[in-house]
């Protein structure tokens, strides 16, 4: 019976650790996010969804419905692409990298002044890139940018271990206290 209790406790600690690791790594992306207030240059990996002009050739495809651009490449494009998206949300795949097919998701919400707030999520092989920007169709104003990946998990590792240890000590203390308070028969 003691073996089952020990095994159950270890499994509970493992599940707690994994849940804390996932939650903390996601929370770290919010803490380390780049926020822009109309000034400053965004990261060159800042993802943007554009509507290509007729005749544009993008990565071997002629005139796809949407294309993914990164801020670092935006200035090179002539003529400038349009950024007004017709759908309120959508997704599309990028060309495969080996066996992995990257996925791009976006959602558009209207702003009060006729502009649109676009949220983009790019799921790549190792990283997930999140960006939010406001556009009037021709110009882009970056709002925020964050990255989730192995570095986020690494930063969350120590806090997850410490919190798991602390929670297990708290549960052990609580169980001892209940056992001491239970009437002896």
Q: pLDDT (tens digit, 9 = 90+) per residue, 25-56?
A: 989 888 888 888 766 788 888 999 988 766 55
pLDDT in tens, 53-87: 665 555 545 446 888 888 887 777 766 677 888 78
Assign residue 96 a region (left: φ > 0; alpha: ψ between -120 and 50; beta: otherwise). beta
Confidence at residue 139, expressed as pLDDT on a 0 to 100 scale? 83
pTM over 0.75: yes
What lies within 8 Å, CB to CB, of 103 at 6+ separation is: 91, 92, 93, 94, 122, 123
| Residue among 17, 25, 40 nearest 141 (CA) | 40
Give me the residue spans of the domains in the chain. 1-32+149-185, 35-148
Confidence at residue 17, expressed as pLDDT on a 0 to 100 scale? 94
Q: CA 166 to CA 119: how far, in whole Å?
A: 37
């Amino acid at each position: 019976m003691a073996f089952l209790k020990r095994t159950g406790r270890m499994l509970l600690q493992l599940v707690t650790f994994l849940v804390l690791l996932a939650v903390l790594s996601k929370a770290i992306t919010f803490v380390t996010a780049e926020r822009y207030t109309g000034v400053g240059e965004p990261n060159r990996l800042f993802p943007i969804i554009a509507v290509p002009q007729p005749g544009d050739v993008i990565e071997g495809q002629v005139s796809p419905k949407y294309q993914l651009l990164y801020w670092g490449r935006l200035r090179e494009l002539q003529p400038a692409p349009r950024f007004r998206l017709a759908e309120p949300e959508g997704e599309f795949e990028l060309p495969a990298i080996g066996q992995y097919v990257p996925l791009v998701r976006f959602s558009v919400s209207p702003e009060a002044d006729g502009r649109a707030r676009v949220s983009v999520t790019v799921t790549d092989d190792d990283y997930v890139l999140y960006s939010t920007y406001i556009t009037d169709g021709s110009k882009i104003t970056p709002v925020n940018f964050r990255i989730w990946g192995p570095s986020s998990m690494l930063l969350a590792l120590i806090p997850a271990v410490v919190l798991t240890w602390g929670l297990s000590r708290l549960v052990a203390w609580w169980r001892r206290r209940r056992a001491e308070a239970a009437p002896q028969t």
